[in-house]
Structure 1
Amino acid sequence: MLRDEILFGSHWKSRYKKTFGVAAGVLLWLCVAPLACGSGALGEKNNVIQKDGEFDVTYNDTVTSGNQTIYAFNHTVSRTKTEGVRVSVDLLSPNLKSPILFVVRQKQAVLSFQVPLILRGLYQRKYPYNHLGRTLCQPPTRAASEIQYFFVDVSTLSNQGTNYQLRVSRVESFTLQTETKFSFTSSPSQPQYFKYVFPEGVDTVIVKVTSEMTFPCSVMSIQDIQCPVYDLDNNVAFIGMYQTMTKKGAITVQRKDFPSNSFYVVLVVKTEDEACGGPLRFYPLRPDELIDAGNRSKTLDIVVSLAIKSDVYVMGMLLCLGIFLSFYLATLLVACLEKKRAKKRELFQNIDDTSPAETGKITVSPNEYGSLDSTISSEAVTESAPSLDSAASADHYMERSGWKNVGRSRQESLSSIEEDDYDTLDDINSDKNIVRTKKYLCVSDLSRKDKRVLSKKYQIYFWNIATIAVFYALPVVQLVITYQTVVNVTGNQDICYYNFMCAHPLGALSAFNNILSNLGYVMLGLLFLLIVLKRDIVHNRALACNEVGALECGIPKHFGLFYAMGTALMMEGLLSACYHVCPNYTNFQFDTSFMYMIAGLCMLKLYQKRHPDINASAYTAYACLAAVIFFSVLGVVFGRGNTVFWIVFSVIHILATLLLSTQLYYMGRWRLDSGVVRRMVYVVYTDCIRHCTGPTYIDRMVLLVMGNLVNWTLAAYGLIERPNDFASYLLAIAICNLLLYFAFYIIMKLRSGERIQCLALVCILFTAVVWGFALYFFFQGLSTWQKTPAESREHNRDCILLSFFDDHDIWHFLSSIAMFGSFLVLLTMDDDLDTVQRDKIYVF
């Protein structure tokens, strides 16, 4: 058009433009009509009928192979106002062998379609549509106002006349307004799209589409302003961003992705519902069989809402950092108070040190040693405690009263038998059997190995998990970056299961808020490592000074498992963040792998407290955890409705429970060999039939019976229900066992006359409350990869905190705090025993 103005002047253009456009259209059609109609039309006389078309007028016409019709339309296009143009066609006498071809020629685009329109579904099933409606794209104009022409050409190869109706109308509400709901109806053959222009100062908006109807399945697409617009089921995924939807869909759109500062919102109803989890239709009997699509119209509502501004991002980051930095400040405050209290205690102790020496009397609290319940006889206690001479008894009483016998040598320690010296005895196995099968064991009986050897053994837990973390995390990070790149390049938002109603992008990340909320795991994991390091340093200093309290009293302090737990918590945060870069069913194990690690390490730490000599090695423990993760992967891939898999897993689950129960009950003093069945029959015969005696270790038996009942119940539930989320089912098994063992430990601790100090009690109560709130937010279920992406979006909800964090982000906050509190409970729950001799601390 600019070239016309230069060559002929604007006056010529305004006067003869319409005539020239019509003539050019006729000449073009005369040239291309033989090609469009096929070789069968060559040599035949083609009558071309041109009509001046008018908007909102229905044309009833007939077309044959020798009769083509051209409708010429014109309308005024303005930069300040955008109105759409819609072409509707209804075929009155369908002819499937020779459809009618409609070609719409515009200034910068050509749109063609046939009627009846054949759309293909799954397995190439064919659905014919006789009624079509298509919206014409709107080429941008530089002029303030411009008259544009377009032509609708109608032709067919059928020799018989085919009747049709044609109507061209204006779409008044073509441009969407911010925060204004607009309702419309769409179908597979009558797709709809609308234009949105970014207002000044707005960089990001959220396009939300809702419907009261679950089906038919539909597709929501965001496309740049260009021609043609891809608005059919078979081409809507070619460009732009798109997602399937049933009742709810949302896409966050940023201005930087659209140079024209505007975009199209395209809504297409799919020909079939399988993509949205709907029923699978029957398979056609013949390859060319046409299937009646029925009524697949769907009413939808669309709203374009303003997204959050940059200051909300800043507030969200500051809130996240503030919450977890407050734990650092609280820990520092508690440490200062404890240090001040320790100085006061040391001052009063130094003042009172001269009293026992002057009087020669030792005051001992009668309740200080702790006792089992009244059913435990004094003979059993005497049998379980090592004999002490008078000097040792005096030292023991002094230590129990808070005294430190610094001059006592390591060789005189009650648990000073070095592992190397112990293992060279000829009767080592007999001695182990005698010690571990006593009715009532004390910690001194199971802390006979050298501390240096055990410390190295448990430090392997930390180094192994650090190595695992590096080799596990690197490919995970690479994979999720690839996932995010694929989503950004293809625009397919069905790949990732976000909460699209509250997914705030930042840079290349689609849901930055879900990633940021995982910061708590990393920060609190690091804080726990610092707390453990401080305790480790203090303990090593006490050992270097040969303090009897560190050598002979309290639960043996081995910090390797604590370091491993802190590392696992940090890795849980990193891998959970990686999972939330693009959450889906193929990478859900990234989010759960270190949860299994944490649950397993906590159980091992609980067992190690009272059984330091016989706890599992790092290699055995991590091999078992690797087997759990292996089954997790198998369950995700093959577990959905696979009967064979569930039977095999349930059998392995029950057998593993029985083997572990036997190992725990007999303290490792049993053998799995060819004679195990004979020995089992003998035990059953002697203990249950011949003498009918009760179990030797009642407490352990109660724990293991309850544990077996819980695990068998979970195995039966899995076999019957076969839950789709196998990873969560496996995690539930680990958590149930951990909670059961923790409850048993607390109950036995109280039964043994031990007490829980104030700090540990506060941690227990605080952690229980936080876990309760955390689980509430966890079960809100904002998305679920067990269903199709469209079904998952039905659970999407708006943000609830600062318009930035959703329910799942709150779960991240609370669960990280709860895990940190759980670790503190394990770290501090036995602090009351730091002044109690180990031969007075019972094993359970």
Structure 2
Amino acid sequence: MAAFSSRCVIVAFFLVHCYTDGHQSGNFSQVMQFVLNSSNNTRIHFHPGYVKNVYKINAWSTDATSKEPVYVVVEQDTNILSWTVPLTLANSFNNTDNVYDNTSRIFCDNGWGRHFTVTLSTDSPTNVTLYLLVKKEYNFNTGDKYSVSVSPSQPDYFFYRFSSNQTLTTVIRVNSSSDLCLFASIQNHQCPVFNLEVSRSVHQTILHKGAMRIRRYEYGEGFSLVLVARMDDSDCIQKYNPLDKSVLRENSRTSHVTVSIREINGNRTVAIFCMLGIIVVTCLVAVLVVCVFHMCGKAAGGTRYDESEPLLPRTVPEEQQDDGNERRERTLPDKLMVSHLAQNLQNNSDKSFGYMWSLLHVGIFYGLPVTQLVWTYQKIANKYGDEDMCYYNYLCANPLWIFGDFNHIYSNVGYILMGALFLCMVAHWKSKYQGLSTGVPRHYGVFNAMGLALIGEGVLSACYHVCPSQFSFQFDVTFMYLMAVLCMVQLYENRHSDVSLSTSHAFMILGAFIFIATVGLLTNEVALVAILIILEIPLCIFLSLKAYFFGPVWYNLGNLISQLQNSEDSTLHILKPQRKARFICVVTPIAINIVLSTVGCYLFVNGVVDFGTLILIQLMGNAFLHTLIYFFFKIRIYREGVSVENVFYLFLSIILWGIGGHAYFQTRTQWTESPAISRQRNEECVLFDFYDVHDLWHFWSAGALYSTFMFLLTLDDNVAYKNRNEMAVF
């Protein structure tokens, strides 16, 4: 194609300078008809005056052929523009050439008062009729809507001059009535104008809806918008999304487009600090709520203990080796109490704080490369102007500094502040309840890890929103995985201090899930879902058996098999669970995990959720399930009751999760689709002309997570001074 264009230009120059027969003056905004052949060519002079203007030159013919086309050459000093009528463009999708009889180009006059010349020539020995229309392109006005038609051979051009010195950002909306793939580019108001697809300007692909946000300081007095239809739709469907194999096709490659422009003069500082003020006030209210509950609560005394000494003789199951290297298991009573599994409190406390330090290390070594990567993404996107790299809501993507979507980055400050507030609350609870020999053993290290994970979610979610895409989505959900796992660990450790999962094992299991999620996000293969289920169900069964036996699974299963082989009792009698309530507790999660896996697989295969979200659903579902089981046994089975403060946080978290979920499912982007299709979800800002519904999801979910963590922190406050040998294990 490039070689063909070069030959066209060479032939055109030869014809212009050697075989030009006719000279005449041209008229703007008037259709002119010319009859051309190989011995009768025409040169038309246009006199634009001393004002810098941009002209659209339309040329069309019904009897010119691609073998013997009409050459159109536009000259003004050293500025030269040339093309052929009909215009032949290569279709890379099906490896064919498309021929267009109607053509147009944008020509920029330098404004020096010199005329420009349009030369028409052809090699055809027979007469060819060509029509020419040269008209000045008019400037855009704020708030007006302009309707145009564009095709691969007929781009269109708009110039916009900023109307106010107070303008910070200009929003361009492009709407199309067809399914054709369009290419929109923003250029500085200078000559020459790049008519077709160029990578040196800010540009994006568009299907039905497109939007671009322009910062005034980058374009001086104004900017130019160029629209052109693509030869095929593959870039609008597959660009940066190799998972989608479908391609839209239309026989007609002419798209009817409506363009509108709106200026934003509001002060972004007000929007930024107003939201920060709202979050800070919310934190102060949260502190006030705690103070009110503690002032209204009844003080009670408790006995302090020495963490280095056990309260009762050691009775938990453990693997020990005697002189004969034989395993043995110490027996447990049929009715387990918290005191039976809270014998080594100092070691359990150290293990609990191991979660905090491990998470801190993971956050540092995971977060630094992520920050470096997304910073590089943003610099590349800014340098090359490719707005298909990042999945923004361009109708509410407020640029600031080097960031193209600052509001979605900044709105994560709620996670950070709420995480810091929760750490303060944990410190307060520790000072109030630490050292009691009553109530459930409190593992403040896990609670601290939950607060750090909430802060980490804010940082990593901000990194994801620097340049959202399928390659960075994992950054947004990793710490959500961590928080879900920590919630389950905390619930289990409440009444199983001596037999809880070690830090290293917990992070190894979590690392395996994150590895599978990474591979799944990159490949999106259904086979990985099968692998996930194959790994998850046995793991769930193993952990459930470990929870039931309170110790080594294989050792206890070996004893059970030995009893089946040697005992004279019936098989049903031996297999009958001794702790029926506990058996229900461990069987229920297995059954529900099978259901979750089945439903998740169905949703993934049908394209409802992506692989990362599938794993998040599994982990969040398990966290909710364990919370529900714990709460049910505490309230209904053992009738321990809960405090008013705990009920308050329960209902608050439900309300905030409901409001946040409503905002979350109003998606404004979707990286599982192509950028052009994703933009059809873009919508305007809803708060301060700065934040959209996804920003509100950040705010609501930060409050919801804080309320959920406070619910877990206060869950056993009402039994803080109850003897442990009177509290059941469940």
TM-score between both structures, scaled by the size of structure 2: 0.90
Q: CA deviation at 1:717?
A: 3.1
Q: CA deviation at 1:214?
A: 4.2
Aligned to 2:212: 251
Alignment of 1:143-162 (within 5 A): 147-156=113-122, 158-161=123-126
Give the match's secondary structure for 1:557. Answer: coil
- Deviations for 1:53-107, whole angstroms, at most 9, x for unmatched residues? 223444443444444321112234547xx5x432211232243234332111135
Aligned to 2:241: none
Alignment of 1:231-630 (within 5 A): 231-232=195-196, 236-259=197-220, 261-277=221-237, 294-310=251-267, 313-334=268-289, 336-337=291-292, 340=295, 414-415=311-312, 432-435=329-332, 438-449=333-344, 451-540=345-434, 543=435, 550-551=436-437, 553-630=438-515
Aligned to 2:3: none
List gaps (5 residues or longer) in structure 1: 1-31, 142-146, 284-291, 347-401, 544-549
Tell me, in whole angstroms, the C-alpha distance in 2 between the residues paired with 1:341 and 1:715: 45
Which sits farther off after the overlay, 704-713 or 238-247? Answer: 704-713
Pick closer, same or farther for the CA change 1:33–1:697 going to 2, 3 Å: closer
Residue 715 of structure 2, aligned match among 808, 821, 829 = 829
Q: CA deviation at 1:36?
A: 3.1
The answer (yes or no) to whether the contact 1:204–1:252 under 8 Å persists in 2 is: no
Q: CA deviation at 1:112?
A: 0.9
- Deviations for 1:303-345, whole angstroms, at most 9, x for unmatched residues? 11012422xx222222322222224323443454466557xx6
Please tell me whether residue 139 in structure 1 is matched to residue 110 in structure 2: yes
Pick closer, same or farther for the CA change 1:196–1:442 going to 2, 3 Å: same
Pick closer, same or farther for the CA change 1:428–1:768 going to 2, 3 Å: farther
Pick closer, same or farther for the CA change 1:199–1:414 going to 2, 3 Å: same
Pick closer, same or farther for the CA change 1:263–1:676 going to 2, 3 Å: farther
Q: CA deviation at 1:263?
A: 0.8
Aligned to 1:288: none
Q: CA deviation at 1:674?
A: 11
- Matched AA of 2:48: H
Aligned to 2:587: 705
- Deviations for 1:482-512, whole angstroms, at most 9, x for unmatched residues? 1111111111011111111111111111111
The answer (yes or no) to whether the contact 1:206–1:250 under 8 Å persists in 2 is: no
Pick closer, same or farther for the CA change 1:38–1:788 going to 2, 3 Å: closer
Residue 46 of structure 2, aligned match among 43, 51, 73 = 73
Tell me, in whole angstroms, the C-alpha distance in 2 between the residues paired with 1:220 and 1:208: 11
Q: CA deviation at 1:698?
A: 2.4
Aligned to 2:134: 169
- Deviations for 1:319-378, whole angstroms, at most 9, x for unmatched residues? 322222224323443454466557xx66xxxxxxxxxxxxxxxxxxxxxxxxxxxxxxxx
Please tell me whether residue 207 in structure 1 is matched to residue 164 in structure 2: no
Aligned to 1:812: 698
The answer (yes or no) to whether the contact 2:170–2:216 under 8 Å persists in 1 is: no
Pick closer, same or farther for the CA change 1:673–1:531 going to 2, 3 Å: closer
Tell me, in whole angstroms, the C-alpha distance in 2 between the residues paired with 1:532 and 1:758: 19
Pick closer, same or farther for the CA change 1:673–1:536 going to 2, 3 Å: closer
List gaps (5 residues or longer) in structure 2: 1-5, 239-243
Aligned alpha-carbon RMSD (Å) = 3.5
Q: CA deviation at 1:695?
A: 3.1
Residue 101 of structure 2, aligned match among 119, 130, 154 = 130
Aligned to 1:359: none
Tell me, in whole angstroms, the C-alpha distance in 1 between the residues paired with 2:568 and 2:118: 96
Tell me, in whole angstroms, the C-alpha distance in 1 between the residues paired with 2:334 and 2:700: 42
Q: CA deviation at 1:423?
A: 6.8
Tell me, in whole angstroms, the C-alpha distance in 1 between the residues paired with 2:229 and 2:714: 60
Tell me, in whole angstroms, the C-alpha distance in 2 between the residues paired with 1:220 and 1:35: 26
Tell me, in whole angstroms, the C-alpha distance in 2 between the residues paired with 1:535 and 1:810: 30
Pick closer, same or farther for the CA change 1:57–1:521 going to 2, 3 Å: closer
Tell me, in whole angstroms, the C-alpha distance in 1 between the residues paired with 2:307 and 2:360: 33
Tell me, in whole angstroms, the C-alpha distance in 2 between the residues paired with 1:695 and 1:416: 26
Give the match's secondary structure for 2:183. Answer: strand
Q: CA deviation at 1:682?
A: 6.4
The answer (yes or no) to whether the contact 1:273–1:280 under 8 Å persists in 2 is: no
Aligned to 1:716: 598
Tell me, in whole angstroms, the C-alpha distance in 1 between the residues paired with 2:405 and 2:245: 33
Tell me, in whole angstroms, the C-alpha distance in 1 between the residues paired with 2:393 and 2:55: 35
Tell me, in whole angstroms, the C-alpha distance in 2 between the residues paired with 1:280 and 1:732: 27
Tell me, in whole angstroms, the C-alpha distance in 1 between the residues paired with 2:136 and 2:214: 24
Tell me, in whole angstroms, the C-alpha distance in 2 between the residues paired with 1:577 and 1:627: 24
Pick closer, same or farther for the CA change 1:56–1:336 going to 2, 3 Å: closer
Q: CA deviation at 1:452?
A: 2.0
Select the structure of larger CA radius of gyration: 1
- Matched AA of 1:782: R
Pick closer, same or farther for the CA change 1:214–1:563 going to 2, 3 Å: farther
Please tell me whether residue 662 in structure 1 is matched to residue 565 in structure 2: no
Give the match's secondary structure for 1:610. Answer: coil
Give the match's secondary structure for 2:163. Answer: coil
The answer (yes or no) to whether the contact 1:87–1:166 under 8 Å persists in 2 is: no
Tell me, in whole angstroms, the C-alpha distance in 1 between the residues paired with 2:466 and 2:709: 27
- Deviations for 1:440-465, whole angstroms, at most 9, x for unmatched residues? 2111111111x222221111111111
- Matched AA of 1:168: L
Q: CA deviation at 1:765?
A: 0.7
- Matched AA of 1:645: L
Tell me, in whole angstroms, the C-alpha distance in 2 between the residues paired with 1:169 and 1:783: 41
Aligned to 2:57: 87
Tell me, in whole angstroms, the C-alpha distance in 2 between the residues paired with 1:72 and 1:160: 25
Give the match's secondary structure for 2:388. Answer: coil
Pick closer, same or farther for the CA change 1:100–1:34 going to 2, 3 Å: closer
Aligned to 1:37: 11
Pick closer, same or farther for the CA change 1:423–1:475 going to 2, 3 Å: same
Tell me, in whole angstroms, the C-alpha distance in 2 between the residues paired with 1:457 and 1:604: 12
Tell me, in whole angstroms, the C-alpha distance in 1 between the residues paired with 2:37 and 2:560: 90
The answer (yes or no) to whether the contact 2:542–2:553 under 8 Å persists in 1 is: no
Residue 785 of structure 1, aligned match among 655, 658, 671 = 671
Give the match's secondary structure for 1:695. Answer: coil
Aligned to 1:9: none
The answer (yes or no) to whether the contact 1:34–1:41 under 8 Å persists in 2 is: no
Tell me, in whole angstroms, the C-alpha distance in 2 between the residues paired with 1:411 and 1:585: 50
Q: CA deviation at 1:690?
A: 4.5
Tell me, in whole angstroms, the C-alpha distance in 2 between the residues paired with 1:149 and 1:667: 92
Give the match's secondary structure for 1:97. Answer: coil
Give the match's secondary structure for 1:473. Answer: helix
The answer (yes or no) to whether the contact 1:320–1:519 under 8 Å persists in 2 is: no
Tell me, in whole angstroms, the C-alpha distance in 1 between the residues paired with 2:328 and 2:562: 21
